[in-house]
Amino acid sequence: MEACVFDLDGVLVDSEPVWEEVRRAYVAEHGGTWQEDTQSRLMGMSTQEWAAYLHELGVALPPDEIARGVVDQMAERYRHGVPLMKGAPEAVRRLAADLTLGLASSSPRALIEVVLDAADFRDCFAVTVSTEEVPRGKPAPDGYLEATAKLGVDPRESVAVEDSSNGLRSAHAAGMRVIAVPHPRYPPAPDALALAWKVVPDLDSLTVAALER
């Protein structure tokens, strides 16, 4: 195994409830209608993609303005504390001691930087990629392919750590072995979970041994 690439939202940061709360309120405030499947559809989308989708839900603002408004609210929430997943700091530092780590996230670059500093993760990741920086968000493989390319490793010899349906599909489409750490509130769809190489119950179970063939 040449590298391990982490997702951020739902794996290292318990941010999906915050994203849902902020975007749901933003849609309601600006005249849109939140659908039953909206949250699951949004998970993994790039900033440009989810902003355009919220516009389609009836938010009467340009997608660029929607993105700025939502991200500003997320940054404000993070300034009051980043909600790290249980065991996240220990898992990252445990693996970083023996492996090259990357990060492939659907979060905008500004929020990735906030988390790296708040969690003291900056020295743990050799490469970080936001789907803002590639043509397509998850479930397309672009973010993971960009991360492994920047690391100079073969994705087929690398592992991804994911929680969401779109994230699992993205890493699998990149040719990586995927370890699923399902989020208890937002579990992946059965067909997406079936793509996982291994499923672990929590980050405490994520060890170098668990990443071995």
> Of 9, 14, 142, 163, which one is the catalytic site residue?
9
At a CB cut-off of 8 Å and minimum separation 6, what does 151 contact?
A: 2, 3, 5, 100, 102, 126, 127, 158
CB of 163 closer than 8 Å to CB of 183: yes
98 is catalytic: no
Q: How many CA atoms lie within 13 A of 81 on its CB side?
A: 4
Looking at residue 10, its amino acid is: G
Which of these is catalytic: 7, 14, 142, 163? 7
Closest alpha carbon to 91 in 183, 202, 212, 213: 202
First-last CA distance in the chain: 8
Closest CA to 75 of 27, 134, 115: 115
CB proximity list for 56: less than 8 A, separation 6 or greater: none
9 is catalytic: yes
Q: Tell me how far CA of residue 140 lies from CA of 6, 55, 136, 172, in angstroms.
A: 16, 21, 6, 10
* Cβ 58 vs Cβ 69: under 8 Å: no
Cα 28 from Cα 92, distance rounded (Å): 37
Active site residues: 7, 9
